[in-house]
Amino acid sequence: MHLLIVDGLNLIRRVHAAVQPAPPAEIDLSRVVDACRSSLARLLRHAPFSHAVCVMDSEAPSWRHQLYPDYKANRDPMPTSLRDALGDILAAFSDLGVRQVHKDGFEADDVIATIAVRVTGAGGRVTIASTDKSFCQLLRERLEVFDHFSDRYLDAEYVHQRFDVEPETLSTLFALTGNPSVSVPGVRSVGLRTAAGLIHEHGDLDAILAAAASMDSHVGSRLRADREAARLAMQLLSLRTDVELGLNLRDFRRE
């Protein structure tokens, strides 16, 4: 069994951005729908997937917003033209045999991570189609991340080259550096290179923060000052794999 999990808004928003005229002008929504359908159809031809699902964000605030109200505060709202086309886009996906799911209170990332981990744990293979590098923290046997816009796998080698750490330590690296794209600060003055060095020397976040007590350096003082920000970032930027979905894999089987 090989399941394709599509990060729905990641695909849809990238396609919309490519179709959107520059400078912005009135857009033909049918072009957006057709382009999204074509993008998904091309993705479905990438491998003989036996199952497929498109995961979307819920309209309801997620637990991350409740924990940290500034989460994604700097994100531009979805363009009205795209919101108006969503229903037709998802209907086109259904015509291709790809069901859409979401879960109130959780982001699509958590739903994707939950499905992926459960399927691989049961012996299946999973391909997550997304350009979002946060999914790389899930990499393991039979679980892969595919950026079909660049036609490349975001695999362990990619993680080593891009971040200089192992996939399983990415959550610690993200906790230290934060993620400005979702308005989550980490430890001030700690960038990717410094974070990778701390991970190589000390290990996980708890070990790094414990070691900071005896660090006689600017980095040590920043770690001590921003330890709670780092712990909060760890919560916000780690993917949940415990979402109760009430779904059956039979629902995702392709005709």
| Whether residue 204 sits in one domain with residue 102 | no
Helix 227-237 crosses helix 170-177 at what angle (to 10 degrees)? 130
The set of residues, in sequence order, having a beta carbon less than 8 Å from that of 57 and lying 6+ positions away, is 8, 9, 102, 107, 108
Q: In this structure, are residues 157 and 185 in contact, taking their beta carbons and an 8 Å threshold?
A: no
| Whether residue 130 sits in one domain with residue 101 | yes
Average pLDDT, integer, range 23-33: 75
CA 132 to chain CA mean position, Å: 5
| Whether residue 149 sits in one domain with residue 200 | no
- Check whether 143 has a pLDDT greater than 70: yes
| Whether residue 141 sits in one domain with residue 24 | yes
Report the pLDDT value the prediction gives residue 22, as an integer from 0 to 100. 61
Burial class for 250, CB neighbours closer than 10 Å (0-12, 13-18, 19+): exposed
The tally of domains found in the chain comes to 2
| Whether residue 224 sits in one domain with residue 211 | yes
| Cα(254)–Cα(247) distance, integer angstroms | 15
| Whether residue 134 sits in one domain with residue 174 | no
State pLDDT tens for residues 221-246. 999 999 999 999 999 999 999 999 98
Instruction: Output 22 or 68, whichever has higher pLDDT.
Output: 68
| Whether residue 137 sits in one domain with residue 15 | yes
User: Which position has the token pair 């490519």?
Assistant: 18
Report the pLDDT value the prediction gives residue 18, as an integer from 0 to 100. 87
Confidence bin at 26 (pLDDT 50/70/90): low
| Cα(196)–Cα(203) distance, integer angstroms | 10
| Whether residue 137 sits in one domain with residue 198 | no
User: Which position has the token pair 């599509």?
Assistant: 6
| Whether residue 174 sits in one domain with residue 86 | no
With a pLDDT cut of 70, the percent of the chain lying above it is: 98
State pLDDT tens for residues 35-79. 999 999 999 999 999 999 999 999 889 999 999 999 999 888 888
Report the pLDDT value the prediction gives residue 168, as an integer from 0 to 100. 95
| Whether residue 195 sits in one domain with residue 94 | no
3-class DSSP state for residue 71? Answer: coil
Report the pLDDT value the prediction gives residue 173, as an integer from 0 to 100. 98
Report the pLDDT value the prediction gives residue 137, as an integer from 0 to 100. 97
- Check whether 89 has a pLDDT greater than 90: yes
Amino acid sitting at position 108 = A
Report the pLDDT value the prediction gives residue 74, as an integer from 0 to 100. 87
CATH number at residue 102: 3.40.50.1010
- Check whether 5 has a pLDDT greater than 70: yes
Buried b (16+ CB within 10 A) or exposed e, 174-187: bbbbbbeebbbebb
Q: Which structural domain, as residue segments, surrounds residue 137?
A: 2-158+239-252
Report the pLDDT value the prediction gives residue 20, as an integer from 0 to 100. 75
| Whether residue 197 sits in one domain with residue 91 | no
pLDDT averaged over every residue in the chain = 93
- The pTM of the full predicted model, rounded to 2 decimals, is 0.93
- Check whether 7 has a pLDDT greater than 80: yes
Q: In what order do the strands lie in the sheet with 143-147?
A: 99-101, 51-55, 2-7, 125-129, 143-147, 152-153
| Whether residue 34 sits in one domain with residue 120 | yes
- Count of CB atoms within 10 A of residue 46's CB? 13
Burial class for 251, CB neighbours closer than 10 Å (0-12, 13-18, 19+): exposed
Q: In this structure, are residues 37 and 92 in contact, taking their beta carbons and an 8 Å threshold?
A: yes
CATH number at residue 185: 1.10.150.20
